[in-house]
Amino acid sequence: MSFDRKKKNKKRALVVAGVAAVAGIAALLYWPAGCSHQQATADGSSPPTHRSLAALAPQPRFAYAGTPHHRETASIADVAEMALPAVVNISSTRTVKQEASPFFNDPFFRHFFGGGLPHQGIPSERRQRSLGSGVIVSTDGVVLTNNHVVDHADTIKVTLSDRRELDAKVVGTDPQSDLAVLRLKGKPGDLHALELGNSARLRLGDVVLAIGDPFGVGETVTMGIVSAKGRANIGITDYEDFIQTDAAINPGNSGGALVDMQGRLVGINTAILSRTGGYQGIGFAIPSNMARPIMESLLKHGKVVRGYLGVAIQQLTPDLAHALGVKANAGVLISDVTRGTAADRAGVKRGDVVLSINGEKVETPGHLRNLVAASGVGAKVQLEILRHGSRLTKTAVLGEMPSKLARGGKIEEDRGPLGGLTLQGLDAAARHKFNVPEQVHGVVVAAVAPGSRAAYAGLRPGDVILEVNRKAVRSVDEFARLYKADGERTLLLVYRDGSTLYLLLQK
């Protein structure tokens, strides 16, 4: 045999060996799949002698609800089916007095219509009906809903998912957060309750379900995502920390459930932003972490007992931080401290910047107010503050919020162009006119001319300017001297409605 022929035979043998090896590997890979198929065969028949590539490819799987961190085996339909029995329809009625028209008492009107009208001039009453939703949160019949669903109700009817209709009574309401707690009468059995979840764990983009009874058509489930968290300054309630979602919320959804993909209650659907009254993609829900302590307080005390620090607060803007010499890009500015309160006893001072409470960073006044209120009376809170460039920690034991501050206790800042500045000294006449206490000293804003820089800063008639650039003023001349001595911006400390705030006056 020639050398070339031997070389070709050797090469052919290597190719055959290679093919045999590949075939052997393929057989090993095929065998487990064949066994699996054989085990799954119900009639005991032998597996097929070959399988297609399509059979070996990954098989389709159902899309299950859950997150990568908490993979669950329940589909969205499973979550809805689990949560629906805990969501109820609430129908409330109240008596509304309707004043009689003043025309009935007008002689000219009576001349044409005579005295034949039997109830002329007498106020009438009518029954007003309200529809909303609620969530059963305990198997003994506690229902969580919105305050505006049952506000001033004479009778409350609750319809369960199985169409049972039950009477309910109000345990307590909290208009400041728009929450209310009801209890079903008659101790009904076989109730399904939703577990309250931890709304702080929600992330933007998480899938949520909104369940309620929109327009009174019956239980309805809509799906969306968490669009934003911590929405405040919306103007819906005094205490706001809303979850924003694009799950469709319509009239009648108020008080219904916002549910996560583990079937837990993470919010109470409350309001929508809409120009038409219908769904336009922006809905708000009260987070469960805010609703839980309010519900517990209503069940225990019949009212909400909120923690009270005793400070006036405002947003720390970059301009205010620069004017105050504060090197911070986040935090809440203390503009006033009430004497004898928790903040005063803890050593908190005007001009301090609160960076965190109990280790949780605060960036807005609303967030700080919610944390303090939810902590409760007697709670010890650790305040991390910034003062003259140094970080300090103060421990405050919270008091109870006075009832007169439960509503409207915050300071509103005007951002629009309100107008100019006319000052006068604080004599007896000015104190009486603008209701300024004797212990307040400064110069009072007597008038505001439209379009001026002073008004753009937010000054109002009746404001008392206490300080200019951290220096006290007692007269108009002193104010003018300090104002002229400064640069482009003047930092003012202003007394308004029993509290103080900082304003920046541009020159």
Lookup: tokens for 71: 């993979």
Question: Active-site residue among 174, 178, 246, 463?
Answer: 178
The CA distances from residue 212 to 165, 219, 367, in Å, are 16, 6, 28
Chain centroid to Cα 26, Å, comes to 59
| 148 in active site | yes
Rounded distance between C-alpha atoms, residue 333 and residue 353, angstroms: 5
**Which pair of structure tokens corresponds to residue 95?**
């008596």
- 358: Cα within 13 Å, side-chain hemisphere: 11
Q: Hey, which residues does 287 pair with through a beta bridge?
A: 267
Q: Apex CA 227: angle with CA 317 and CA 357, to 5°?
A: 45
Catalytic hit among 148, 246, 335, 367: 148
Q: Rounded to whole angstroms, how far apart are CA atoms 89 and 19?
A: 71
Do 113 and 101 meet the contact criterion of CB atoms below 8 Å apart? no
CB 447 within 8 A of CB 495: no
Q: What is the DSSP string of 129-162?
A: EEEEEEEEEETTTEEEE-HHHHTT-SEEEEE-TT
Catalytic choice (254, 356, 375, 499): 254
Q: Is residue 254 annotated as a catalytic residue, yes or no?
A: yes
Round to whole Å and give the CA distance between 261 and 258.
10
Q: Give Rg (Cα) of the chain.
A: 34
CA distances from 468 to 159, 251, 439, 459, 483 (A): 61, 50, 18, 14, 7
**Token reading at 479:** 């104010």
- Provide the token pair at 154: 């004479």
CA angle 412, 418, 419 (to 5 degrees): 135
Q: Which residues pair with 179 in a beta bridge?
A: 174
Residue 375 three-state SS? helix
Q: CB count, 10 Å around CB of 361?
A: 12
* Amino acid letter, residue 63: A
Q: Which residues are catalytic?
A: 148, 178, 254
